[in-house]
Amino acid sequence: MTQQNNTLAEIRPRFVVDTPPFMHRGCTVGGMMRDMLIALAPAAAAAIWHYGLPAVRVMALAAGVCVLTQALWEKLLGRSSRVFDGSALVTGLLLAFLLPAGAPWWLVATGAALTMLLGRELFGGLGCNPLCPPLVGWAALTVSWPVHMDPTAMNLGSSLIDPLIRMKYFGWTALPEGSELALALGGQLGGLGSTQVAALLLGGLFLLARKVVRWEIPAAFLAGVLALGSLFWLFGETMGVNPANCPPPHLYLLTGSTLFAAFFLATDHASSPVAIAGMFGYGLLAGCMTVLIRIFGIYPDGAPFAVLLAALTAPLLDLIRPQPFGGKRSQ
């Protein structure tokens, strides 16, 4: 009788209480970070091509400090180390892509430490952050040391131009004629890797093909940029806006960190909505705010701030869900 009861206990289904997600498609954190590194590789190579060894210095320092900060934090709290999953390395590279090539070492190290501590670890670690961690570090540096974060001031004698500065203060017609190809190939001052347009597009398409990110957020983000950019370009003068500050919509995509924000920052899994309607609303909001900040704000590149502000609405956007079939909408 005892043997029969043991046999029944072995075949009886076991119910496990756990937290979502309940379906696993085989991907791991390490695998996702590997794909992220592959996607970032073309932009990193392009940054090294344009800026040389200073680009290597900034990327290596940012990534190294992020990994070291995570290791020390986990050691301090007595947690098992997870530095080998590659998430801190990717976070450091994302931050480095937002920094100028001439950023001093202490600025890079401070930004990397703030990125890991304020942006991620203080909220519980990977997956618990309410905002995109690299943007937290970038915002702290931009507000605290604006001169050292200015690509024009930290250009290391480069002959490249900052198209956002020209469009902001001199109008989009101040850009060299036929400069679109040069801008697409990364021939512009700005964040180390965030301005490598063609390389970022290639990396973003790779992430979509590998299903590391969902297509809804990048598509909505770029649609918001193009839609509002077109509106100001066509009707900006009738709305009381200087036409010189309303460039053709394609220039929004070719300058600054627009594509970087669309594919690599706005798609941060922890800080973006999970509902489909929320994803579209979040992407559209971030894209439209990018245009508004560039036209009316004091900062030339509005994409990083736009993603930060849009992430604050993610919990509300996730409440937009379809009504269950046959159910009553809650009052």
Regarding the domain delimited by 29-317, which CATH topology (the fold level of the hierarchy) does it fall under? Ammonium transporter fold (1.10.3430)
> Over 80: is that where the pLDDT of 267 sits?
yes
> Over 80: is that where the pLDDT of 327 sits?
no
> Over 90: is that where the pLDDT of 303 sits?
yes
Helical (H) or strand (E) element with 191: none
Q: Tell me the backbone φ, ψ of residue 147, rounded to 5 degrees.
A: -65, -45
Residue 26, Cα to own-chain centre: how many angstroms? 24
What are the distances in angstroms from CA 234 to CA 230, 231, 242? 6, 5, 12
pLDDT at residue 152, as a whole number = 84
Of the chain, the percentage scoring pLDDT greater than 70 comes to: 88
**Span 195-207, average pLDDT:** 96
Burial class (CB in 10 A: 0-12, 13-18, 19+), 277: middle
Query: pLDDT-derived band of residue 202, with 50, 70 and 90 as boundaries?
Result: very high
Give the tens place of pLDDT for each residue, 163-178: 998 888 888 888 888 7
Give the tens place of pLDDT for each residue, 139-156: 999 999 999 999 888 777
